[in-house]
Amino acid sequence: MTLADQWRAARPPAAGIHVDSAACSRQSFAVIDASAAHARHEAEIGGYQAAQAAGPALDAGRAAVRALTGMTDADVYFTTGSNHALDILLDDWRGARRLACLPGEFGPNLAIMARRGFEVQTLPVDGVGRLDADEAGRELSADPPPLVHFTILGSHTGTVQPAREVAAVCRDLGVPVVIDAAQGFGHLDCAGIGADAFYSSSRKWVAGPRGVGVLATRPGLLSEPTVLWLGHAETNVGLHVGLSLSLGEYVAAGPAEMQARLREVGAATRTALAGVAGWAVVEPVDEPSAITTLRPPPGVDPATVRARLIAEHSIVTTYLGLERAPREMTEPALRVSPHVDVTDAELAAVAGALRAVTP
């Protein structure tokens, strides 16, 4: 069986065509069952006893995070998602409240930065919003910010950002780097970035349950009171078990194989959809991600098109409004983000449906 066949056989059949993994992937039977089994165990032996019994499964999840990030001695915490992790980090931050990030920073991240009182400066980018690593090196050296927040892959385009390069510059300057890998984890190679903190969501490319995520930090980065609070806060242990299992499945499938297949899927999607009914693909065909962004033809509203694709063709895509990346986006778009199991026939069906619903 191919990786794609295995992935498909491991989960319930989709009602239609699901090309929306950047929003929320489809969980496997085993992951769904693991979360449910934990809830049953809580009812049988008690919630705190069940949590203790799940210790090894959760430790395996934490170990997978360390392996996939290359942060071998990191403290790994389960969170309720990426935004929760960022809020924990910024709330706890003891330095000056100023940070540098990309102009394409995720809108909800900017809102958390503002709420936590951070002044935001932007890193230099090229015409497609990709970091200009050389210029960034010069600017960061000339005026090092107290913190760099770097989103390795945005929510609004499939442009892969050079995280290793920026982290290396920051390491030389002694500037801590936080990596938002909500779209990168389980998708891109995240090992060896060399971050001080790294966080992601569960439901996106690793296909775990909704409402959970992970935060990995260099030992000593978080203050003691925050670490104590994280250890005591009420959490949904069953979903952490599900997430740990999804990480186990990802590791078992082979991270390099998964990442290679996702690159292939990205290229196939862009090839299938480029120019269909006047929609323009934003990324170069071989951009190494599985996120394809479609810019609408003049006068076409991507929100309406997304709704009609669901209602009339059972095809799930994402509408990208300007709030996704308010400092960079100038017009709304449509995102198509299949997982490893997408077929050429499905991509052809998406192209056909897009043609049918574009006025």
**346 binding ligand PLP? (CB under 6 A):** no
Residue located via tokens 């198509």 = 336
Q: Is 277 left (phi over 0), alpha (psi -120 to 50) or beta?
A: left
DSSP for residue 74? -
Using CB under 6 A, which of 25, 27, 35, 82 touches ligand PLP?
A: 82
Nearer to ligand PLP, 187 or 263 (CB): 187
Nearer to ligand PLP, 137 or 209 (CB): 209
The kind and range of the H/E element at 122 are strand 119-122
Classify residue 149 by burial, with Cβ atoms within 10 Å: 0-12, 13-18, 19+: buried
DSSP for residue 76? E
| Segments of 123-188 assigned E as strands | 148-151, 177-180
Nearer to ligand PLP, 155 or 292 (CB): 155
Other Cβ atoms less than 10 A from the Cβ of 268: the count is 18
User: Whole-number minimum distance, CB 63 to ligand PLP, in Å?
Assistant: 21
Longest Cα–Cα distance in the chain? 60
**151 binding ligand PLP? (CB under 6 A):** yes
**27 binding ligand PLP? (CB under 6 A):** no
**341 binding ligand PLP? (CB under 6 A):** no
Angle made by CA atoms 250, 253, 258, in degrees to the nearest 5: 80
**106 binding ligand PLP? (CB under 6 A):** yes
Q: Are 71 and 198 within 8 A, CB to CB?
A: yes
Using CB under 6 A, which of 35, 183, 217, 337 touches ligand PLP?
A: 183
Nearer to ligand PLP, 16 or 211 (CB): 211
Compute how many residues bind ligand PLP; rule: CB under 6 A. 13
| Nearest CA-CA partner of 146 in 97, 106, 203 | 97
**104 binding ligand PLP? (CB under 6 A):** no
Nearer to ligand PLP, 81 or 288 (CB): 81
**293 binding ligand PLP? (CB under 6 A):** no
Angle made by CA atoms 6, 7, 8, in degrees to the nearest 5: 90
Nearer to ligand PLP, 101 or 305 (CB): 101
User: Whole-number minimum distance, CB 259 to ligand PLP, in Å?
Assistant: 18
**81 binding ligand PLP? (CB under 6 A):** yes
Nearer to ligand PLP, 86 or 133 (CB): 86
Using CB under 6 A, which of 20, 42, 75, 180 touches ligand PLP?
A: 180
